[in-house]
Amino acid sequence: MARFLIVEARFYDHLNDMLVDGARSALAAAGHESEVLTVPGALEIPGAIAIVAESSQYDGFVAIGVVIRGETYHFEIVAGESARGIMALTMDGIAIGNGILTVENEEQALARADKTRKDKGGEAAKAAIAMFDLQAKYG
């Protein structure tokens, strides 16, 4: 049994609830514990994981968020930089699954957040577990 922290950017409540539900279900199904930490937006997720990882309290992290394209270049910044930050932490050896949706509209987000459909929260949790398992074997 390992301990995972789900770091969620609570930007769209209903979509977040669905993604977190999928992540928690996948972690529980694999026999792992999970807690949830909420941050304002996807750009805060990598920094939050970096801070909490210093404490060594968790074995892995699941990043959860939703970025929906608006009218400006902001979408590219939030989508790209959150992924870049998470990737950098992954290369530092932190087990992370990236469940930040980067979509054109709410319909796309709903299909991906729903755990009976694309279940991207559950998928990210399974990726975090896979990276944790890899660390346990080779780390």
Ligand X SMILES: CC(=O)[C@@H](O)COP(=O)(O)O
Ligand Y SMILES: Nc1c(NC[C@H](O)[C@H](O)[C@H](O)CO)[nH]c(=O)[nH]c1=O
Nearest approach, Cβ of residue 87 and ligand Y (Å) = 17
49 three-class SS: helix
Query: Would residue 32 show up in a list of annotated catalytic residues for this protein?
Result: no
Is residue 40 part of the contact set for ligand Y (CB under 6 A)? yes
Nearer to ligand Y, 11 or 21 (CB): 11
d(CA 20, CA 115): 10
Q: Binds 41, which of ligand Y, ligand X, none (CB < 5 to 8 A, cut-off by type)?
A: ligand Y
Burial of 60 (C-beta count, 10 Å sphere; 0-12/13-18/19+): buried
Is residue 44 part of the contact set for ligand Y (CB under 6 A)? yes
- List % helix, strand, coil for the chain (3-state, nearest 5): 55, 20, 25
Active site residues: 74
Give me the residues that bind ligand Y (CB under 6 A), please: 9, 11, 40-44, 65-68, 74, 78
